[in-house]
Every structure is written in C-alpha cells, then in structure tokens.
Structure 1
Amino acid sequence: MVCGGFTCSKNCLCALNLLYTLVSLLLIGIAAWGIGFGLISSFRVVGVVIAVGIFLFLIALVGLIGAVKHHQVLLFFYMIILLLVFIVQFSVSCACLALNERQQRQLLEVGWTSTVTARKDIERNLNCCGFNAFNSSETCSAKLFLFQACYTNLQCSPCAPIIEEYSGMVLRFVGGIGLFFSFSEILGVWLTYRYRNQKDSRANPSAFL
C-alpha cells in the first residue's frame, strides 16, 4: 500500500491526533503538578493552561473520531478549526520570536502589575522582592532573610533582572515550540482535506466516499 492511499492517510491523521491528545494531557498534568507542589497559586494562570489543554483535547477527539469513521462533517469542522488555530498560533509564535528586550520588559512589567498571585509566586520561587525596586509599603513573599533585609535596609534583590535573564530564552523556546506545532497543524489540515476526498477501497465501490 503506497503512502498516498486511504489507509495511510487515515493512519497518519490518527497518529497526529494521538500526539495532540498526549500534548493536551501533558498541559493539564503540568498545571495540576504546579498546584500540587505549590509552584503556582494563581488560578488564572492554571485556568488558562487547563482551558488550552481541554480545548486541544476536544479538537484531537473530534479529529480522531472523524478519521476512524471517515465522517465528512466532523472532518470538515476539524479542518476549519485546525486552520484557525494554525493562524493564531503561527502569529503568536512569530510575535514571541520578534520581541526585543524593551518590548519584553514592558510586557513583563504589565504582567507583574496585573496579578498579585503570580507576583507572589515569582517572589517566592526566585527569592526576590519587587519588580525594579522594593516598596516598603508592600509585602514580599521571598524567603525570611531577604524579607527582613528588605524592611531593615531596603537592600533587596529585585525580580526584574532575574526574570529578564530567562525571559528571552523562554520566549524563544515557546516561539520555537509554537512554530513546530503550527506546521504540524497545517499538515493536519492538508491530511484532512486529502482524506475527506478519498474513497475506502474496502467499502462498497458504488457508495459515496
């Protein structure tokens, strides 16, 4: 059986959706692990990760059922949704790779001021106080010795230099992973389009697809 046939297209589409299923379960597992070990206490961050994982799982489930049953309607909606996800993910990935240091710093500062819970997680895990400088009117979730030093002589380690040290690497990693999966999504769109228009040679030859 050549790799351009019905069976090969079906198996490739099933394998691609099984990969998406594993990635979605991995995202949900990482979010649960972060909560369980106290690394993440922001329910907004966890909720976004879990929502993305569930959304990806549902897309993979629709694609898997459509591929197994050769269901024309499910495959059509799967192809449209996957194409929209590709456009969004490709744009976000390119934006992550194109951000300069000034833009990264502005985004980090906006994220720092927009949520208190994530700020506490960063101070506790990175052992720092404040973004650029510590304000004595605020609280700090860093370890005890640094917390005391902040209030006695205001000589604290701000979080901005520590975060900026890793932000570029994280953005490049996220952008690269996003680009990889975006090309796998356009591959899924192409496979789905081809598979929808193929006929099962083992089925009734006079039947419609």
Structure 2
Amino acid sequence: MVCGGFTCSKNALCSLNVVYMLVGLLLIGVAAWGKGFGLVSSIHIIGGVIAVGVFLLLIAIVGLIGAIHHHQVMLFFYMVILFIVFLFQFGVSCSCLAMNRGQQETLLNSTWGVLDDKTKSGLEIQLNCCGLLNTTSTRAKYEEDVKNCPAACKENSCSTCGEMMLHHATEALKILGGVGLFFSFTEILGVWLAVRYRNQKDPRANPSAFL
C-alpha cells in the first residue's frame, strides 16, 4: 500500500494520537510530581495543568478510536475540536512571541493579583524575593507584600519578584511560543489527516458501502 492510501492514513492518524496521549499523560504526571515535591503549592495551577492534560488525553482517545474503527461521527467531532484548539493555540503562541516588556509587566501584575497568599509566599521563598514590582502605580501593593514576605532576604535587601521573573521572561516566552507553535502545526496535520481519512474507503469493506 503506497503512502497516502487508507492504511497509511490510518496508521499516521493513530500514531499522532498516541503522541497526544503521551503528552497528556506527561502533563498530568508533571503536575502531580510538582505538587508532591512541593514545587507548586497552588491547587488552581495544579488543577489547570491537569485539566489540560485530561482534555488532551480525551481528545486523543476519541481520535484513536475513530481512526481504528473508521467512525465517521467521532472523526468529525475530533477534527472540529482539534481545529478550534489549533486556532486558540496558534493565537496564544504568536502573542507570546510578540509580547514586549510593557505587556509582560501588565500580564505579571494581573496574574499576581489573582494569586492567593499561599502561592505568593511560596514563590517569594523559592525565588528569595519580596513583592512583585516597586513602581509608582504598584507601590502601595508592593509595601503590603513586603510586610508579609516570608523570604530570607527580608532581613537585608530583597529584589522584587517581578524583576527576577522579567529577567528570564523573554527567553521563556520565546520557548513557550516556539513549542506552542510547533504543536499547533501538528494539530493542523491531525485535522488534515482526519479529513483525508474520513473520505477514504476501506479496501476490505463492501465496495458498494458508502463510507
């Protein structure tokens, strides 16, 4: 069977979904490992990562079952959901690659504002810093954070957590954007394979059957 035929499309789609399943399991495992070792204390962050892993795992299972059984309905929903995920991930990845320092500071401020005190304290201890950013607009909040800061550097002079995060933010955003962009193209490949595979006939089936 030449590549591009029914069997080739089926095997390629199955292989792609097995990779998605492994990535989903990896996300769930990393989140559980981070929680177990105390690297991440916020249940919201852990829950978010696990939710993404479970969602990816479920989508991969739907695609795998649809590919194995050549199930038209499952393949249809699989390619629609995967295309929506592609659009969202492609947009986020491009935003990460295009984000400048001012936008990074705005994002950090909004994220810091929704974190609970336990998560903030955990970050301050791990990074040995106090507060987020000491600017004119955030000085009141910064002084409040410094008063409650549990970091060891508080006895001397602490750097702000925001400056430490921003120091590596550009590199981190480039990595996240690049990885997200790469996986978004694997998702559009999955959509193309699903569309192609749905329109192919199983050579072992009844030639008069409509598939």
The alignment's TM-score, normalised by the length of structure 2, stands at 0.91
Q: What is the RMSD computed on CA atoms of the aligned residues?
A: 1.4
Question: 1:169: how far off?
Answer: 1.1
Paired residues, what number?
202
Q: Does 1:110 align with 2:117?
A: no
AA matched with 1:129:
C
Partner of 2:6: 6
- Does the C-alpha gap of structure 1 residues 3 and 141 become closer, same or farther in structure 2, counting only changes over 3 Å? farther
Distance (whole Å) between structure 2 residues aligned to residue 141 and residue 81 of structure 1:
44
The answer to which of 157-166 and 52-61 deviates more is 157-166
Question: 1:201: how far off?
Answer: 0.8
Q: Is the contact between residue 13 and residue 192 of structure 1 (CA under 8 Å) also seen in structure 2?
A: yes
Instruction: Trace 1:85-164 onto structure 2 (pairs within 5 A).
Output: 85-116=85-116, 117-133=118-134, 135=143, 138-143=147-152, 146-149=153-156, 155-164=157-166
Moved over 2 A (4+): 132-138, 206-209
Question: 1:132: how far off?
Answer: 2.4
Partner of 2:139: none
| Equivalent residue for 1:200, pick from 199, 202, 206 | 202
Instruction: Trace 1:180-199 onto structure 2 (pairs within 5 A).
Output: 180-199=182-201
Instruction: Trace 1:63-74 onto structure 2 (pairs within 5 A).
Output: 63-74=63-74
* Cα offsets for 1:129-167 (capped at 9, x unmatched): 111245266311323xx1333xxxxx2221121100111
Partner of 2:138: none
Distance (whole Å) between structure 2 residues aligned to residue 187 and residue 15 of structure 1:
12
Partner of 1:152: none
The alignment's TM-score, normalised by the length of structure 1, stands at 0.92
AA matched with 2:188:
I
Give me the identity figure in percent: 59
Question: 1:208: how far off?
Answer: 2.3
Q: Is the contact between residue 112 and residue 118 of structure 1 (CA under 8 Å) also seen in structure 2?
A: no
Question: 1:68: how far off?
Answer: 0.3
AA matched with 1:39:
L
Q: Where do 5+ consecutive residues of structure 2 fail to align?
A: 135-141
